[in-house]
Structure 1
Amino acid sequence: MEGGLTRAEVAALIAELAFARADDAVKLAFSPDDGTEGLDLQLVREIKRGGNGAVELKLLDREKLIELLVELLKPTDNEGSQELYSAIDNAAKRLGGKPDAV
C-alpha cells in the first residue's frame, strides 16, 4: 500500500490499543497537576471532573477494537494472515506481553 499503512500495521496498532493498560489514564484523572509527560493516554476518550469531586473517565471500547482486530485477522485472497499475526506479536512484545508462536 503506497503512502499508507499496511493491513498488518493497522492490525498491530489496533492490538496495541485493545490490550493497552489504563493505569496512566487513572493517574491523570486523580492527579491532574502532575501533568501528562510520560503517560500513555492513547485509550482516553474523555475526562470530566465534577464540582463535587467526581471524576468520569471514558476510554476506547476494547470490545469493538477486538472485534475489528478479528475482522482484520481473517485471511483474504490477496494477503495471508501470517504477516498480520507477526504484527500482533510485535505489538505484544512492545506492550511487554509474551508473543505466541505462529
Structure 2
Amino acid sequence: MIRRLAEQQGVHHEALDPPGRGQPHRPAHHRQTEELRRLRKENAELRRANEILKAASAFSPRKWTQRGRSIETVTHLRDQFGVYPILRALGIAPSTYYGWLDRHRRPSDRQ
C-alpha cells in the first residue's frame, strides 16, 4: 500500500513509511516526558553517589589497605547511605565486600 502511494506521489517509499512502523505512535510530548523522567532519576542517582564519595573522602580510616579502608568506610557511612549505594559509588562488588568482611571477622592462621 505504502509503496503504491509512494509511486503515485513520485517519492521513495521510506519517505512515507515512518521509522518504528508497527509500534504505537506516541506524541512527542510523551517521549519528552519519559526522557525527562529518566534524566531526573539519573541526576538523583549521580547526586547521591557524589554525596557518598564526598563523605568517603572526608572519612579517614585507621587501616590503609584497600580492604581495610573499604570496610571502615562502609561501616562508618552505612547508617547514612546504606551499604549497597556506598559499594556502587566506590565500585566494589557486594560479594567482594562481604568476602572481605568475612575474612576480617574470622582471620585465618596465615594472616
Interval containing the TM-score (normalised by the shorter chain): under 0.3
Higher helix share: 2
TM-score (norm 2): 0.24
- Asked which structure has the greater RCO (Cα within 8 Å, sep 6+), the reply is 1
Larger radius of gyration: 2
Q: Which has the higher strand share?
A: 1
